[in-house]
Chain A
Amino acid sequence: GENVEQHPSTLSVQEGDSAVIKCTYSDSASNYFPWYKQELGKRPQLIIDIRSNVGEKKDQRIAVTLNKTAKHFSLHITETQPEDSAVYFCAADDQTGANNLFFGTGTRLTVIP
């Protein structure tokens, strides 16, 4: 099955600075790479996703880049705000099985006002 590694596990940034979270995956056939945000005690919610035929995708302050050759993808948050504080999970689908999502271990982002 797919193996997804995520770094760093914790990240603190000053409000207004940028934050970058990186993930690697093992299945070269993976096709779909979503990012979820989970606030304390709440459900994970999709914030952005990218498919293997695209190298970069942007939505306002959030962007995701994908390097298929190196099998890694990254989440970039610019002009961070206190409400960006949460745990962020990357995920990749498993093309060898039932196309399930395999999640990274999460990054706890803290934006310091």
Chain B
Amino acid sequence: EAGVAQSPRYKIIEKRQSVAFWCNPISGHATLYWYQQILGQGPKLLIQFQNNGVVDDSQLPKDRFSAERLKGVDSTLKIQPAKLEDSAVYLCASSQQGAGTEAFFGQGTRLTVV
């Protein structure tokens, strides 16, 4: 079974620039999550999609972060403009049914804002 795919693996940008991350979940998984993992901390949920609808975006800094899930499959997460404190690994995860089922993580995108 193919895993969750993310790209790029690494990205370095200057503050105030914009950046986008892409995620392709496991085929058939209805639920997709984006997490932010700051160095030395646990993953923090940014947004949850169920198919192509947003279930929870309460922790997404909407003034600079946006996300979409096209046709209920692939998803993109965008930051515009980036700040130094956005430096982190951005993890995408997917699960079959959402609550109470295993979430499979991608390799993540390591973002460095300088």
- B interface, size bucket: 20 to 34
Task: A7 to B102: give the CA distance in the assembly, Å.
Answer: 23
CB-contacts of B14-45 with A (<8 A) = 33, 40-45
Q: With A97-B58, A100-B33, A106-B41 known to touch, is A43 a contact of B99 (CB < 8 Å)?
A: no
Stretch at the interface among A14-22, A44-52, A59-67, A76-84: A44-52
Min distance, Cβ A64 to any Cβ of chain B, angstroms: 14
Task: A34 to B103: give the CA distance in the assembly, Å.
Answer: 9
A43 engages B106 (CB within 8 Å): yes
Min distance, Cβ A10 to any Cβ of chain B, angstroms: 11
Task: A50 to B106: give the CA distance in the assembly, Å.
Answer: 22
Q: With A97-B58, A98-B55, A100-B33 known to touch, is A46 a contact of B41 (CB < 8 Å)?
A: no
- Closest residue on chain B to residue A98 by CB atoms: B56
Min distance, Cβ B60 to any Cβ of chain A, angstroms: 12
A42 engages B107 (CB within 8 Å): yes
A99 engages B105 (CB within 8 Å): no
Query: B111 near A: Cβ within 8 Å?
Result: no
- Closest residue on chain B to residue A34 by CB atoms: B102
In the assembled complex, 6 residue pairs joining A and B whose CB atoms fall closer than 8 Å, in A order, are A43-B4, A43-B91, A51-B100, A98-B56, A101-B33, A102-B45
Q: Which residues of B contact A (CB under 8 A)?
A: 3-4, 33, 40-45, 48, 55-56, 58, 91, 98-100, 102-108
Q: Which residues of A contact B (CB under 8 A)?
A: 1, 4, 6, 31-32, 34, 36, 42-46, 49, 51, 89, 91, 93, 97-106
